Amino acid sequence: MCASEAVGAAGDPAPPAAPSDDVVTAATSTRHPRCPRVKSVVIATVTCSTVAGELVLVLILLVLVLVLVLVLALVPVLVLVLVLILLVLVLVLVLILLVLVLVLVLVLVLILLVLVLLVLVLILLVLVLVLILLLVPVLFLLVLVLIVLVLVLVLILLVLVPVPVLILLVLVPALVLILLVRVPALVLFLLVLVLILLVPVPVPVPVPVLFLLVLVLILLVLVQVQE
């Protein structure tokens, strides 16, 4: 039995022993020796690319901020420069227009003065000719014009101011004196005007009556001047 066991022991091969952990690690390390290094390189590359992208974004943002600051700093200056240029142009245009207006006004004033002088010269020439040709009738016409002007003034005063009754008391004796005693009509006419202006009475007189009396005085004055 011992022999058979020995024969059996000698005939059957022994089972292989299980490999240890060191042998497995060595085998794997010999198959893929660079795997940990590749992983580290990939991680480093990704990290560097992200950092570089962030840096580029930061630089772009800084450039944009600088551009905005420059624009904000330069725009008011440009606006002020444009406003000043526009103001200068407007002032220049206004001055040019004022000069043109003044020149036109001066020209118009000179033209008007020349026309007025011409008219005055013509009037003086006409008056001189009339005085030379018809001296006495011209003096008569001047007296008549003065009388008419005084009468117009009296009528204006009569319309504006209440007419006193005393005017009738002065005009009627004046007419009687002119007709009977031949007192100078101009003196009586001036006395009547003075009384009209200086001695007002609140009792009114009809204006047509006084107007007729004034017309009679005018006729009497003309008759007296002709005599």
Chain segment 29-38, per-residue pLDDT in tens: 444 445 555 5
Per-residue pLDDT tens for 44-85?
666 666 777 777 788 888 888 777 777 667 666 666 677 778
pLDDT tens column, 167-180: 555 555 555 555 55
- Name 164's Cβ contacts closer than 8 Å, sequence gap at least 6: 196, 199, 200, 201, 202, 203, 204, 205
Q: Is a pLDDT exceeding 50 seen at residue 2?
A: no
Count of all residues that appear for the chain in the document: 227
Helix (H, G, I), strand (E, B) or coil at 182: coil
Find the distance separating the first CA and the last CA of the chain, reported in whole Å.
210
Instruction: Say how far apart CA 149 and CA 102 lie, in whole Å.
Output: 40
Residues whose CB is less than 8 angstroms from the CB of residue 174 and which lie 6 or more positions away in sequence, other chains included: 188, 189, 191, 192, 217
CA distance 182 to 113: 49
Q: In this structure, are residues 163 and 210 in contact, taking their beta carbons and an 8 Å threshold?
A: yes
pLDDT in the model for residue 9: 46
Evaluate whether 131 touches 138 at the Cβ level (below 8 Å).
yes
Q: What are the tokens at 130?
A: 């009339």
Predicted confidence at residue 65, as pLDDT, reads: 78
* pTM recorded for the entire structure: 0.26
Q: What sign results for the dihedral spanned by CA atoms 179, 181, 185, 188?
A: negative
User: HSE of 85 in the Cβ direction (CA atoms, 13 Å)?
Assistant: 6
- Buried (b) or exposed (e) across 50-86, using 16+ Cβ within 10 A? eeeeeeeeeeeeeeeeeeeeeeeeeeeeeeeeeeeee
Position 6 scores a pLDDT of: 47
pLDDT digits (tens, 9 = 90+) for 87-142: 888 888 888 888 888 888 888 888 888 888 777 777 776 666 666 656 655 566 66
